[in-house]
Amino acid sequence: MIELSGIVERITYYNEKDGFSVIKFSVNDNEDYKDETVTAVGYFHCLETGERLKLKGDWILHKDYGYQFKTEFYEVITPATINDIEKYLASGAIKGIGPATAKRIVDEFGEKTLEILNSYPDELLKIPGIGEKKLNMITKSYEEQREIRDIMLFLQQYGIGPAVAVKIYKKYKEKATQVLKENPYRLADEVEGIGFKTADYIAQKMGIENNSMERLEAGLKYTLLKAADEGHVFLPADKLLYKTSELLGVESELLNQPLLALEEKEEIVIDRSWGSSEVYLAAFYYLEKSIARKLFLLAQMIDKPLEITDETINEIEKLCKIQLAKRQREALEKAAQNGVIVITGGPGTGKTTTIQSLLKFFEKHKLKAALAAPTGRAAKRMAEATGKEAKTIHRLLEYNAFEHGAMAFGKNQESLLEEDVIIVDEMSMVDITLMYHLLSAVKPGARLILVGDKDQLPSVGPGSVLKEIIESDKISTVVLDEIFRQAQESMIVVNAHRINKGYFPYLNVKDKDFFFEQVLSPEDILETILEMVKERLPNYGNFDPFEDIQILTPMKKGIVGVINLNERLQHILNPPSTSKKECKYHGQLFREGDKVMQIKNNYEKEVFNGDLGRITNIDEDDDIVTVTFQDIQQEKNVTYCGQEIEELNLAYALSVHKSQGSEFPAVIIPITTSHYVMLQRNLLYTAVTRAKRLLVLVGSKQALTLSIQNNRALKRYGHLSDRIIEEFSCGIYPT
Percent of the chain as helix, strand, coil, to the nearest 5? 45, 25, 35
Q: What is the DSSP code (8-state) at residue 381?
A: H
DSSP 218-272: HHHHHHHHHHHHTT-S-EEHHHHHHHHHHHHTS-GGGGHHHHHHHHHTTSEEEE-
The neighbouring-strand residues paired with 450 are: 342, 424
Say what angle helices 256-264 and 237-248 make with each other, to 10 degrees. Answer: 120
Task: Tell me which residue of 465, 479, 478 sits closest to 723, measured CA to CA.
Answer: 465
R_g over Cα of the chain: 30
For 159, left (φ over 0), alpha (ψ -120 to 50), or beta?
A: left
Pairwise CA distance, residues 222 & 371, whole Å: 37
Q: Is 580 annotated as a binding residue?
A: no
Q: Which of 649, 665, 273 is nearest to 657 (CA)?
A: 649
665-to-124, 579, 594, 643, 683 alpha-carbon distances in Å: 72, 30, 19, 33, 19
**Torsion sign over Cα 485, 488, 490, 493:** positive
Q: Which residues pair with 74 in a beta bridge?
A: 55
Check the annotation: does 348 bind a ligand.
yes
Name every residue whose Cβ is closer than 8 Å to that of residue 577 and which is 6 or more positions away in sequence.
none
Distance between CA 263 and CA 270 in Å, rounded?
A: 7
Q: CA dihedral defined by 449, 393, 410, 360, rounded to 10 degrees? A: -40
Give CA–CA dist 187/167, Å, rounded: 10
Specify the 3-state DSSP secondary structure of 487. helix
Phi/psi-derived region of residue 531, left when phi > 0, alpha when psi is between -120 and 50, beta in every other case:
alpha
Q: Are 11 and 110 in contact (CB under 8 A)?
A: no
Torsion angle of the four alpha carbons 630, 632, 633, 635, in this order, in degrees rounded to the nearest 10: -20
162 vs 151: CA distance, rounded Å? 9
Q: Is 364 annotated as a binding residue?
A: no
H or E segment to which residue 694 belongs: strand 691-699
Count of Cβ atoms closer than 10 Å to residue 410 Cβ: 11
Question: In angstroms, rounded to a whole number, what is the distance separating the alpha carbons of residues 44 and 163?
Answer: 7
**Cβ within 8 Å of residue 658, ≥6 positions away:** 597, 599, 610
**CA-CA distance, 718 to 284, in Å (whole number)?**
10
Cα separation, 153 vs 160, whole angstroms? 9
**Burial tier of 634 (Cβ tally within 10 Å: 0-12, 13-18, 19+):** exposed
- The DSSP line for 288-323 is HHHHHHHHHHHHH----PPP--HHHHHHHHHHHT--
**Which residues, at least 6 apart from 305, have a Cβ–Cβ distance to it below 8 Å?**
336, 337
**C-beta separation of 466 from 427 below 8 A:** yes
**Binding annotation:** 348-352
**Binding annotation for ATP:** 348-352
